[in-house]
Amino acid sequence: MDRALLTAEEVSAQLFGGKKSTESIWRDVRNNHIPYVRIGRRVFFDADVIRDWIGAQSMANVKENTRGL
């Protein structure tokens, strides 16, 4: 089964619609805030895993914003 591995630039453009900069993505990698795959010295992102991660982040924000209502 082939998995779609993306670069930080592709993640920014394809999954965030350019609304999250590549610098921000690299900062998230350094801080272990975003799931990534290291192959040798290169860093890639599994498109399916990132989509799931984005969904989980969105749900966490909804839960946080509706707490106490």
Per-residue pLDDT of the chain (69 residues; tens, 9 = 90+): 567 899 999 999 999 999 999 999 999 999 999 999 999 999 999 999 999 998 888 776 666 656 655
pLDDT digits (tens, 9 = 90+) for 44-61: 999 999 999 988 887 766
Q: What is the pLDDT, as a whole number, of residue 3? A: 76
22's tokens: 């590549």
| pLDDT in the model for residue 55 | 87
| Strand residues in the chain grouped as ranges (E) | 5-6, 37-39, 42-46
> What is the strand order of the sheet 5-6 is part of?
5-6, 42-46, 37-39
Q: Taking Cα atoms as reference points, which of 1, 16, 5 lies closest to residue 46?
A: 5
Structure-block tokens of residue 64: 């946080």
Question: What mean pLDDT, rounded, does the chain reach?
Answer: 87
